[in-house]
Amino acid sequence: MRSTDDNSSSCSSAVSPASFLQRTLQRLSSTQSLTLKADEEAPVAVITLQRYLSDHSEGQQQRPHSYSYDMTVTDGLWRAKCYIHPCLNHLVHTNTLRTGADISITQCSYVYNEKRLGHGFICIEKVRCCAENSALLPRIKGARSLPLLVKQGMERSVELQSDVPLQVSRKHYLPLWNNDDPEGDIWTSASSSADTVLDVSKITLLSSLESNFRSSWKPLPLLVKIIHKSRLRYYGKFGLKIDFPYQAYFEVADQSGTMSLVLWNELCPEFYQRLNVGTVLYLQNYTLKQSYSNRSRPQMDHHRIKAFTSVEICLNPRNPASIITIVSQKSVLPQWGLPKVSYQFTTRSRLEELSNNSACDVIGLVTFVGRVERVKSKGNMTVEKYWTYRWVHAVDGTSHHPFILEIFSSSQPEIFNSICPMTYLVCTQMRVCPVEGSLPYLTSSCETEMFISGYHRGQPYVNEPRVKSFIQWTKTLKDNVVLQKTAVGGHYCYPHPPRTFTQSTADASAQVPLVSAADLKTELETLQYREHKKLAIQGQITSVSYMKTPKTAQSQETQERELSDVSTVMCVADTHSQPSAAEQTEEISPSRRKRRIHTRKSMQSLEFSGTTPKRRAQQKTTEHGGEREDKDSESEEAQDVVHSPQSQNPNEGSDILSWESSSWPKQREEVSEHLMPSGLCEDSVSQRFTTDEKTMLLRWSNLQSMWWTPEQTTDTLPPVVCPGFYQVTILGINKQIAVDAAYFPVVSADEPRAIGLPQDPHGNTMLSCLSSGFLCPLRDDHSDSAAPEPEDILATASELEDTHIVCVLDLCHLGGDKVEALINKVYRVTDVSVS
């Protein structure tokens, strides 16, 4: 990196004295060792965090890391693009190391590329994470335009200066949280089309391709229209010598029928975002191959034209290099006989009439949009892959019920991340998923495309009768009335669990997995940021406490002193110098890479989620001594009495009502571990949507951005409105491990979670509430009945004593040290069956 002594730097002379990054570079350049431990801990701010597939040779320890990360930091005067050592990857996976936050670099090194002249970079090996929101960035103007710090002699390094990875074997970045979206400057979005006159006298029809598939005949040009577009598929893996391993399917049509077209590799960044439904193409130098049968296809019966499925058209960047001409709309002639794009819109009132897995298109006014979550892709793959998805409610005026939409990323990140209430949403090729005893929902397919307000202009569906009638209906609505029924973010999961829990030995994949308490601990420890899992455990409920306040960002107190345990030593396989034994006592050892879930061997029945790790450590002596003795003496007098131990509450001003079983004080002494995830957090509770807070609410409900923007440091979330929740301790069936989970009942018919919830009346006992998921009856605008008080519900908790239950839990990692563990449903063993 270039220092301030280098007079050839146009930026160096303007910066005096040397900044922290410059001083770090100077020390790396002057020291005999390439590894440097910080003699100061001046914070730097993270402004970009970028991901790409690792090199296979890069694997430390037993297996290669799936992905590598580059990070750009700033000290306010310079930017430095650095490589994150793989031992710190877990900090990215949990969103502890994130854009918009301050960090202190405590150890780094300079890495030269031994096979290439003039290429090297800083490798960050140890960090200390500071405050969640940067104190440095609000004082910087134009952080992303600050001069880039480059070591003298490395000025021509393309990887440092441009949007490509520092590991030179990779040519582009992936999105930070999935593999399905286009990311970076290589993806061309500008639409260019040809106004040239085409010689259509020498074209061939799709119907001719099947008969000439295996012949030596050179295919003539094709003139086709795109009628369906799939999302991108990234098939990169270790050892694959392809720079841009992408594939995308299109269904194209001419007057003779339809056929699949495949766009390969480098052509995807160049053309994928320019090829849309309705686009007309003139294709030359294409090839044909036998169609790949094991893939999804759009349902196209409504087009009423013949489908040719035995072969598919391949567009390759070379051997031969395909020629793709995008024909402008004004140049398309009627005599070409290209079919119109056809849709099959359905209304909400007719949704129940559609069969399972049938495809349909929908349009609706969004009233609820859930937070973006991730789920790990199934299958034996060499690298980890996550899908991103969100739940959406949309109304169309034909039913009292909304469309319930499960929308996965469709390679349209700008639309997927901008879905919000009060926007008109169109989703194509959605698949119907019936739910026994409840409302059906629609899930997206590989061929789903979505469009929101601002993106409808020019789309082929705008003249559809169903779309026009929907627009007429929306003109009868009043915005202020609709806004009262909107919501954003929070915990949401659909469909709701069935009345009876069934563990199928024949098809375990179709059921909620029933896991051991030890497996649950592993699942909690290995969750990644916004990853959602639904699991079931069996055991008994030993204590319940009512809390009035969810865990907030302020209550976490995620200051630097509380996160000293996120610094990491070097991997064993690393060739750099190892820390001393004394130093290792202050760092996390290499064998403990898994994120820690707070555990305790013998503890009181409730620890409020607002307590910080340091405060918990300070409380250990008390909790193992006099405070437990008070608990035991209290339990001897009245085990099933609801009590309010205000003096023990670490969050002033919040009363805690609680119950515990008669056996819990003794059992608590014998459990080997007590798992304590964060339970209910502010991110668990949905917020009312307002147009004034639209940008901030979208950022809150979306995934952490890989690019910092100034708005991140100025917006603050409105206070969370939460009626309260129950903290429940579940003791595993073998009485070795206990886990705390939050129960957050549905209390109002206006909540998004109330949609489709079976609402059979019940007596508002603790067990019936846990079993049903709601307080009976649900409040609404027309109801005068008051909700039952927590004291009254907890007064019935004695029926939980020694009751064998199966508990379905929703787990979601919310970033940093926040892990949401919510009770979805509780079953008595009498409601469990094995098939």
- Give the model confidence (pLDDT) of 437-471 as tens digits: 899 999 999 999 999 999 999 999 999 999 999 99
Query: Does 61 have pLDDT greater than 80?
Result: no
Q: Using omega within 30 degrees of 0 as the cis cutoff, is the peptide bond preceding 645 cis?
A: no
Greatest Cα pair distance in the chain? 97
Rg (CA), the chain: 29
Residues 6+ apart with CB under 8 A from 808: 497, 501, 512, 534, 535, 536, 823, 824, 825, 826, 827
* Fold classified for 348-488: OB fold (Dihydrolipoamide Acetyltransferase, E2P) (2.40.50)
At 95-105, the pLDDT tens digits run 999 999 999 99
Tell which phi-psi region holds residue 117, choosing left (phi > 0), alpha (psi between -120 and 50) or beta.
beta
Q: Is the distance from CB of 121 to CB of 111 less than 8 angstroms?
A: yes
Residue 718's pLDDT is 76
Please report, for the chain, the start and end positions of each structural domain, with discontinuous segments joined by +.
12-161, 200-336, 348-488, 501-684+720-834
DSSP letters of 758-769? --------HHHH
Helix (H) or strand (E) holding 619: helix 613-624
Q: What is the mean pLDDT of residues 373-400?
A: 91
pLDDT digits (tens, 9 = 90+) for 170-228: 899 999 999 999 999 899 887 766 667 788 888 999 999 988 777 677 889 999 999 99
Tally of residues, the chain: 835
Fold of 200-336: OB fold (Dihydrolipoamide Acetyltransferase, E2P) (2.40.50)
Query: How many degrees, rounded to 5, is the angle at CA 174 between CA 43 and CA 451?
Result: 110
Residue 580 pLDDT exceeds 60: no
In whole angstroms, how far apart are CA 449 and each of 64, 231, 251, 456? 35, 8, 13, 12
**CATH class belonging to 12-161:** mainly beta
- In a 10 Å sphere around its CB, with 0-12 CB exposed, 13-18 middle and 19+ buried, how is residue 100 labelled? buried
* Distance between CA atoms of residues 735 and 516, nearest Å: 11
Confidence of residue 60 (pLDDT cuts 50, 70, 90): very low
CB atoms near residue 762 (< 10 Å): 15
Query: Is residue 338 very low, low, confident or very high in pLDDT (cuts 50, 70, 90)?
Result: very high
What is the enclosing helix (H) or strand (E) of 584? helix 581-584
Please check whether residue 393 is in contact with residue 400, taking contact to mean a CB–CB distance below 8 angstroms.
no
Strand partners, 820: 812
Residues 6 or more apart whose Cβ sits within 8 Å of residue 819 = 524, 527, 597, 677, 678, 811, 812, 813
Check if the beta carbon of residue 433 is closer than 8 Å to that of residue 440: yes
In angstroms, rounded to a whole number, what is the distance separating the alpha carbons of residues 475 and 481?
13
pLDDT one-digit tens code per residue, 597-613: 566 543 333 232 333 33
SS3 208: helix
- What pLDDT, in 10s, does the model give residues 201-210? 889 999 999 8
Peptide bond into 710 cis (omega under 30): no
Question: Cα-flanking dihedrals φ and ψ of residue 180, to 5°?
Answer: -95, -20
Distance CA 229, CA 449 (A): 8
What is the reported pLDDT for 42?
Answer: 83
How many Å apart are CA 638 and CA 662, to the nearest integer? 9
Beta-carbon neighbour count of residue 589 at 10 Å?
11
Q: Mean pLDDT, to the nearest integer, of 319-331?
A: 93
- pLDDT at residue 119 in the model: 83
b/e burial code for range 548-564 (CB count within 10 A of at least 16 → b)? bbbbbbebbbbebebbe
Q: What angle do CA 410, 411, 413 make, to 5 degrees?
A: 100
Decide if 701 contacts 369 (C-beta within 8 A): yes
Region 715-726 average pLDDT: 82
**Lowest model confidence (mean pLDDT) among 262-266, 419-423, 586-590, 668-672:** 586-590
Of 224, 250, 440, the closest CA to residue 346 belongs to: 440
- Weakest-pLDDT range from 406-410, 760-764, 807-811: 760-764
Check residue 155 and report its DSSP letter: T
Instruction: Name every residue whose Cβ is closer than 8 Å to that of residue 343 and which is 6 or more positions away in sequence.
Output: 302, 361, 428, 460, 461, 464, 466
Q: Model confidence at 144, in pLDDT bands (50, 70, 90)?
A: confident
Assess whether the region 12-161 and the region 200-336 belong to the same CATH fold. Answer: yes
